[in-house]
Amino acid sequence: MFNIDAMLKIIGQENKRFVEPVVTTVSKERTPFHVLISCLLSLRTKDQTTRDASQRLFAVANNPEDMMIIPVARLEKIIYPVGFYRTKARKIIEICKELIKTYDGKVPDTIDDLLKLNGVGRKTANLVVTLGYKKPGICVDTHVHRITNRWGYVKTKNPHETEFALREKLPRKYWLTINDLLVTYGQNICAPVSPKCSICRINGYCKKEGVTKHR
């Protein structure tokens, strides 16, 4: 029998020795707006790079009003070298303007409204809802998609399918924490290529679907 409770408990214990994802740290210290911007910066970017860029940006602008008036060339320099920094700089300014125009400067607290913001996908929307507002949602990034399929817990083709499969199967008590748990574990143990199965404490639970090489 697949014991999701035991597995996630073990992963939570193991993750205590690793650095938590930057967006999680931001959510504990700042507002849903900061969660939104940090998440946008984090896409296709290493965590430490995102952490540094977020700190630089928030030291200059702390709200949509201040951020939207930063010249795009300057914003590019502030967030460099995050992935696709030129595109992200334009999107951030555009999103801040839309927040002011449509939402009185407040970040929406529903997935549907967040998805109306140009550049915001389901991963970012779910992360803002769960981490920023502590409302039910399941954020599925590449780690969550990969690991839950690797376990054999779900059988899906992409993160979008995984989100809805988990909404049907994953106990609601884990909805807010599944992303944090599996991002940290995926970065340190259950790597995309050659996962560290020999030191993984949930090795016995995992079906290793799709794993052709491991350490």
Whole-number pLDDT of residue 161: 98
Residues 6 or more apart whose Cβ sits within 8 Å of residue 17: none
Nearest to 189 by CA among 6, 17, 64, 1: 17
Whole-number pLDDT of residue 3: 94
Distance CA 109, CA 41 (A): 19
Distance CA 156, CA 163 (A): 9
Number of alpha carbons in the 13 Å side-chain half-sphere of residue 140: 21
pLDDT tens profile 116-169: 999 999 999 999 999 999 999 999 999 999 999 999 999 999 999 999 999 999
pLDDT tens profile 183-203: 999 999 999 999 999 999 999
pLDDT tens profile 67-112: 999 999 999 999 999 999 999 999 999 999 999 999 999 999 999 9
Whole-number pLDDT of residue 99: 98
Whole-number pLDDT of residue 182: 98
Using DSSP, state whether 102 is helix, strand or coil. helix
Whole-number pLDDT of residue 2: 83
**Which two tokens mark 172?**
């609601």
Domains and CATH numbers, the chain: 4-18+138-199 (1.10.1670.10), 22-132 (1.10.340.30)
DSSP string spanning 130-189?
A: IIIT--S-----HHHHHHHHHHTS---SSHHHHHHHHHHHS-GGGTTTHHHHHHHHHHHT
